[in-house]
Structure 1
Amino acid sequence: MKLKNIICTVMICALLFSCIGCIDTGTSPDSELNANSTGSEIGNKSSSPINVESETVDKSSLMYAYSSDDYDIATANNAFSFDMYTNLTTDDNIVFSPYSIFTAMAICYDGAETTTQEEIAYVFYYPLSKSVLEKNSKEMMNTINSDDDNYDLKTANALWVRENYPLNERYADNSKIYYGGKVTNLDFRNEPEKSRDIINKWVATQTNEKIKDLIPDELIDPDTAMIITNAVYFKGKWLNEFDVEETRKELFYNSSSNKVGNAVDMMYTKQYFSYGESKNAKIVEIPYKGNDLCMYVILPEENNIEDFESKFKLSDYNKLKSSMESGNEVKIWLPKFSFDTKVELPATLKSMGITEAFTDDANFSGIYDIRKVPEDYALWLDDVVHQAFIDVGEKGTEATAATAIEAVDCCEPLPGQVVEFKADHPFMFFIEDRRTGCILFMGKVKDPEY
């Protein structure tokens, strides 16, 4: 009889905290989001000019990259971001950290083989060469964790393994070397609640106490073999803060009506910003102090955010960014907002193409020592939990978490002309690391006071 063992992958994002976890919870698929699979439009490296002529890049160009120079991890992360957004989107506000999910699953992937590896690589745009992913992941983490007095940005990983589990030494070493994932043994079988408390305290510490109960009650049971956790935290001040005295109660119109709105706290400023537009949307870049990170706010021309987001791909996001110019004064009205999102992802990931990994046919033989387990031993993913948080105000942001309508007929504002950007209806937002081009957090605001 096959032993039931579960890999639990947990991800957290603070700034937009993002949490992911694959854990044996016995969660019913009915409780998960109903998601549909989707393809993704892949853009070019952010470090080079955006190719607005091409809408897609073949996944194979990433999957079959056999050197670090040939693999663009930011492009992979961003392509996955839009795929996941399409599958997660609901009628409510949403925030998540694609980077957190991408990184936690990369640690699982390091132990995957055969079909299991191929399915995960296809969905996450990983290279089939694990060494390429390891090296690029380490470089990305080092950039994110580089100290800067202007803002707080950090990411961390940890592996929590059942006592006496025959962990493959090479897998453990790689997790530590390339992902900083220290291995801690816990008594899942005899002390499940104590184990849960230890993991949740680690998560809370890494997320500045914004996520305290990532691992829910009764998630850990005797069959739990491993829980992988990732945390991302960001807190930064705007390069030019909004004046608190300028914040007023103004109407915010929801997608269902152009005439009826709710009064919300609307911030206001007039400054020089990078701004662009197409016939369907406007984009403004709001930088954080230090200029390493920024928030892109994308405001559809129409109030129907559902129609807009269903067509907005990564290629559109890149094209809209390429339309931006910095020589214009922009009046910005932006609502204050603060909310979190928590989701379980197995059904979503299955619909996107990862199926074998959630069955006892999964091949994660790189994780354990095959010499110390029965011949019919099986290890598979059982649950993936993701949680994210964001708080945007006059001073800045704290958090843990794009087709393209081509701007062919767009009339760019003349130099020196004052343009207006009034986010008084649903919009999308992205928090991006400008150094790498990696989308750290992504979401939409449908109701600022939800």
Structure 2
Amino acid sequence: MESEFRNYFTKSLDIFSRNFYHQLVNFNPNRNIICSPLSIQTCAGMLRMGAVDGSETAIELDGGLNFSSNYAKEIANGFSNVLTTYVECSVLTMANKLYLMKDYKVRKRFNEILTQKFHSEAENIDFSIGSEAANTINGWVESRTNKLISNIVSSDALSGNTRLVLVNAIHFKGEWTVKFEESETRSEDFFLGNEKILKVSMMNAANKYYFADLPEMDAKALRLAYQDTDLFMLIILPNLNAGLKQLEKKLQTTSLEDITSQLTLHKVFVKLPKFKAEFEQELTPVFKEMGIKLIFNGQAEFGNMLDSNERLDVSKILHKAFIEVNEEGTEVAAATAMVVAVRSMPPPELEPKHFYADHPFYFTIYHANHGCLFVGNFNSPDISHVDNVRLVCQCKREQCED
């Protein structure tokens, strides 16, 4: 049964990740992108626990988030199985938190699900003192992301109408199983899709890696392993310098498993740029394009959240992300905050392969059993990147008391 839950959850996360990334690319052409679909889906999953099963709000969330069930209990069990695995991961920190307006209480069942299934702690704070409340929330996120994610919530996003803030934070810092030699890193050309050429610090290696030619995608794939973990970085490189857009369209309909199942062990000559990248965006239009609309327009049904009967809705979703890739490994962080206010064996030796990531490419960091943690692309050496998501919910003013 546990294996079945895991398979359903992984498939659900894979579909959501592909759909979400596709929308993010459409809204951000030619930008470097990094995001954590798991962080976003987890925070939205906590929000879903407050919606009544079968309500229009629950149906929209279940569809847009690609949950494998329409029942809160089964959705929560899926998250519980995955989050429990990550608690035991030495190179990954993942934490959830619920901040609640002072003198307010969440419904008993909602609190039990978040505590038992999402490993979330609750803390009462005064949102009417916006700067102090924001400092408390931001300080918690920074402490869980090695200070890579800061200012997830601004003081002006909080007020006396704010009822609760749901936060998810992820930090991963992994060392390559096979590290790149710093002495082999040198300045080399990086070819942009618009025929411009920029200089980058290019890491070079010749080792055995899992590799695949992907002729149906006009691309090739390379997997880099991290020490002491079941996490990997998969890089998918279009064969053409200007091929990333076409590759990304094909990735929307290609599962992670379809690609990783084609990987075989080869000696590979690798070129990979060192890079840092940051990304930040308000995600409301992305969610709406994915069919999640009711939570923004005052018609949301979150009757399972609070003891009070105030109408809640979502006013903002902000996403931030960070990644750094170098000779030692990768450091990535992500955070999502929802502010809710009233309203095997090696094969025989094969011919060496070449994997020269000297033009724009796609990448994902994923768990062997639980699917992707982070997805992104690298379009240009000039852009940096950070991960963090924030959903800000405001109540209908006419239904709120001053």
The amino acid across from 1:178 in the alignment is: K
Give me the whole-angstrom Cα distance separating, in 2, the residues matched to 1:185 and 1:70.
33
Describe how 1:374-389 pairs up with structure 2 within 5 A. Answer: 377-389=310-322
The amino acid across from 1:421 in the alignment is: F
- Counterpart in 2 of 1:120? 61
Describe how 1:32-431 pairs up with structure 2 within 5 A. Answer: 69=5, 72-89=8-25, 90=28, 91-113=30-52, 114-126=55-67, 127-148=69-90, 152-189=91-128, 191-257=129-195, 260-279=196-215, 280-304=218-242, 305-315=244-254, 317-326=256-265, 328-369=266-307, 372-373=308-309, 377-400=310-333, 415-431=349-365
Q: 1:138-172: CA deviations, max 9, x gaps? A: 11011111043xxx202100011111224212111
Q: 1:241-285: CA deviations, max 9, x gaps? A: 00000001000000111xx41110000100011100122000010
Give me the whole-angstrom Cα distance separating, in 1, the residues matched to 2:101 and 2:356.
52
1:379 CA displacement: 1.2
Give me the whole-angstrom Cα distance separating, in 1, the residues matched to 2:381 and 2:74.
41
Higher mean C-alpha displacement, 328-337 vs 216-225: 216-225
Give me the whole-angstrom Cα distance separating, in 1, the residues matched to 2:7 and 2:101.
34
- Contact 2:191–2:359 (8 Å) recurs in 1: yes
| Cα distance, 1:71–1:274 mapped onto 2, change above 3 Å | closer
Give me the whole-angstrom Cα distance separating, in 2, the residues matched to 1:69 and 1:177.
17
- Contact 2:275–2:326 (8 Å) recurs in 1: yes
- Counterpart in 1 of 2:392? none
Give me the whole-angstrom Cα distance separating, in 2, the residues matched to 1:433 and 1:75.
13
- Contact 1:299–1:427 (8 Å) recurs in 2: yes
- Contact 1:271–1:329 (8 Å) recurs in 2: yes
Q: Which blocks of at least 5 consecutive residues in structure 2 are unaligned?
A: 335-346, 384-402
Give me the whole-angstrom Cα distance separating, in 2, the residues matched to 1:213 and 1:241.
33
Give me the whole-angstrom Cα distance separating, in 2, the residues matched to 1:147 and 1:325.
26
The amino acid across from 1:396 in the alignment is: G
Q: 1:163-208: CA deviations, max 9, x gaps? A: 122421211121111111111111112x111000000000000001
- Contact 1:71–1:132 (8 Å) recurs in 2: no
Give me the whole-angstrom Cα distance separating, in 1, the residues matched to 2:167 and 2:304.
18
- Contact 2:133–2:155 (8 Å) recurs in 1: no
1:416 CA displacement: 2.3
1:449 CA displacement: 3.4
Structure 1 outlier segments of 4+, above 6 Å:
none
The amino acid across from 1:197 in the alignment is: N
1:70 CA displacement: 8.5
Q: 1:88-123: CA deviations, max 9, x gaps? A: 112110100000001001000001120000000001
Count how many residue pairs are aligned between Structure 1 and Structure 2.
360
What value does the CA root-mean-square deviation take over the aligned residues?
1.7
1:350 aligned counterpart, secondary structure: helix
Normalised to the residue count of structure 2, the TM-score between the two structures is 0.86
1:291 CA displacement: 4.4
The amino acid across from 2:288 in the alignment is: K
Give me the whole-angstrom Cα distance separating, in 1, the residues matched to 2:40 and 2:293.
17
1:312 CA displacement: 2.0
Give me the whole-angstrom Cα distance separating, in 2, the residues matched to 1:357 and 1:194.
27
- Counterpart in 1 of 2:338? none
Q: Which blocks of at least 5 consecutive residues in structure 1 are unaligned?
A: 1-46, 48-67, 402-412
Give me the whole-angstrom Cα distance separating, in 2, the residues matched to 1:166 and 1:387.
29
1:400 aligned counterpart, secondary structure: strand
| Cα distance, 1:103–1:387 mapped onto 2, change above 3 Å | same
- Counterpart in 1 of 2:396? none
- Contact 1:236–1:396 (8 Å) recurs in 2: yes
2:156 aligned counterpart, secondary structure: coil
- Contact 1:239–1:291 (8 Å) recurs in 2: no
Give me the whole-angstrom Cα distance separating, in 2, the residues matched to 1:252 and 1:389.
21
Q: 1:40-95: CA deviations, max 9, x gaps? A: xxxxxxx8xxxxxxxxxxxxxxxxxxxx6496111111110111111111211010
- Counterpart in 1 of 2:391? none
- Contact 2:57–2:300 (8 Å) recurs in 1: yes
Name the one with the larger strand percent: 2
Q: 1:356-411: CA deviations, max 9, x gaps? A: 11122110001012xx44xxx3111222222111000000000026xxxxxxxxxx
1:199 aligned counterpart, secondary structure: helix
The amino acid across from 2:357 in the alignment is: A
1:314 CA displacement: 4.6
| Cα distance, 1:202–1:274 mapped onto 2, change above 3 Å | same
- Counterpart in 1 of 2:386? none
Q: 1:6-37: CA deviations, max 9, x gaps? A: xxxxxxxxxxxxxxxxxxxxxxxxxxxxxxxx
Give me the whole-angstrom Cα distance separating, in 1, the residues matched to 2:121 and 2:315.
22
The amino acid across from 2:207 in the alignment is: Q
- Counterpart in 1 of 2:395? none
- Contact 2:238–2:247 (8 Å) recurs in 1: yes
1:142 aligned counterpart, secondary structure: helix
1:303 CA displacement: 1.8
